[in-house]
Amino acid sequence: MNAIVLAGGFGSRLKPLTDECPKPMLPLANRPMLDYVIAQLYAHGVTDVTFTLGYKADTVKDFCLGYDEISAHFSTENTPLGTAGGVKNASRFLDEVFIVVSGDALSNVNLTAMVEKHLSSANDVTMAVTTVENPSLYGVVSVSEKDEVVTFVEKPATNEFGNLVNTGIYVINKEVLSFVPDGVSFDFARNLFPALLGGRKVGAYLHDGYWCDIGDKKSYFNANFYMRKGGFYPVLKNASVFPSREYVGSLLGHGATTLGKVENCIIGKNAHVASCAHLKNCIVLDGATVTESCENAVVGAGFVEKVDFSEKIPHATTKFYENLTGNRA
């Protein structure tokens, strides 16, 4: 079984962070967020991966080709085709049953168990669902006693439909793509799934672990500190990923230097903190030079983005992947 990673978005809500860097390549604890997604797939035995590309496609493509243990394929969209349209456009690379994940969301969804549940069911689609505090940002689902999705409401204005939401992680029978028109923008959540309900079976796989849709600066900021201790899965070798080092309670990327004071910071590759700067709870992006003091911010070349930092978020642990022994195909 193979997988497709949706990695072509513009990341408009993350500007100016995404002005020069495509969203899936934004660093999380000095690793591109896409690296965590690929590591998860590999940990569950998936080594054949297709990437849908759009914004700054070459940057993503060059990075993905740096893996020795991943067979990468690419489908570039000249105009955005939506999530389902992008998958349909890349269908020549996909098996009869395949996994869909986002290149800009992090989770520890047990993909092995999810695939097993799908294959043992009569479902055409299996959707990973989880509970959230604010369901208005996502597609809200209701599920029957047989774990079948019976209703789907995209980004409701109120909580009246509950707080069980679609994570954007799917196992799909390829034949379902026949419902997706060619060459037009078509979305899984807005278009395909509502059309399937009642005729085709859409199952639910309940995930009660970590899931983060990195859609804005606060979620990006918090995900960085969540992954501060390494993430959930073993790191794969990639020519573009260099190890970071600990420095008095902060994380320094390859080639980074700091002459100023840093407290609980993540300093990117080849970044520089001048002696006049004092940073606390900050993320400094690759190659940036910091000459002013700041707190609770993302600092890039020519900008400082203040963020509401939540110190209640726990650190992830690399120990999670010990439970995956034997899952690799």
**pTM of structure:** 0.92
Token couple for 258:
């700091």
- Write down the pLDDT at residue 222: 92
What angle, 0 to 180 degrees and rounded to 10, lies between the N-to-C axes of helices 33-43 and 57-64?
40
The tens-digit pLDDT sequence of the chain (329 residues) is 999 999 998 888 999 999 999 999 999 999 999 999 999 999 999 999 999 999 999 999 999 999 999 999 999 998 999 999 999 999 999 999 999 999 999 999 999 999 999 999 999 999 999 998 888 888 899 888 888 898 888 888 777 788 899 999 999 999 999 999 998 999 998 899 988 987 788 999 999 999 999 989 999 999 999 998 788 999 899 988 998 999 999 999 999 999 999 999 999 999 999 999 999 999 999 999 999 999 999 999 989 999 987 655 544 444 444 444 333 33
Alpha carbon 85 to its chain centroid, in Å, reads 19
Residue 154 confidence (pLDDT): 83
pLDDT at 157: 77
Query: CA–CA separation, 216 vs 131, rounded Å?
Result: 19
Tally Cβ neighbours within 10 Å of residue 308.
9
Supply the pLDDT for residue 320.
43
Rounded to the nearest 5 percent, the helix, strand and coil shares of the chain are 25, 30, 45
Among 8, 94, 2, which residue's Cα sits nearest to residue 52?
8
Secondary structure letter of residue 189 according to DSSP = I
**Non-local CB neighbours of 277 within 8 Å, separated by 6+ positions:** 260, 261, 290, 291, 292, 293, 294
Cα separation, 59 vs 22, in Å, equals: 8
- Classified by CATH at the fold level, domain 2-219 comes out as Spore Coat Polysaccharide Biosynthesis Protein SpsA; Chain A (3.90.550)
Which pLDDT score is estimated for 312?
A: 55
Specify whether the CB–CB gap between 6 and 100 falls below 8 A: yes
Q: DSSP secondary structure string, 78-107?
A: SS--HHHHHHHHTGGG--SEEEEEETTEEE
Closest C-alpha among 322, 326, 328 to residue 41: 328
Grouping H, G, I as helix, E, B as strand and the rest as coil, residue 108 is coil
How many other CB atoms sit within 10 Å of the CB of residue 149?
Answer: 24
Contact between 17 and 219 (Cβ < 8 Å): no
Torsion angle in degrees (nearest 10) through CA of 2, 25, 27, 103: -40
Cβ 11 vs Cβ 23: under 8 Å: yes
Maximum alpha-carbon separation in the chain? 65
Name the β-bridge partners of 258.
Answer: 273
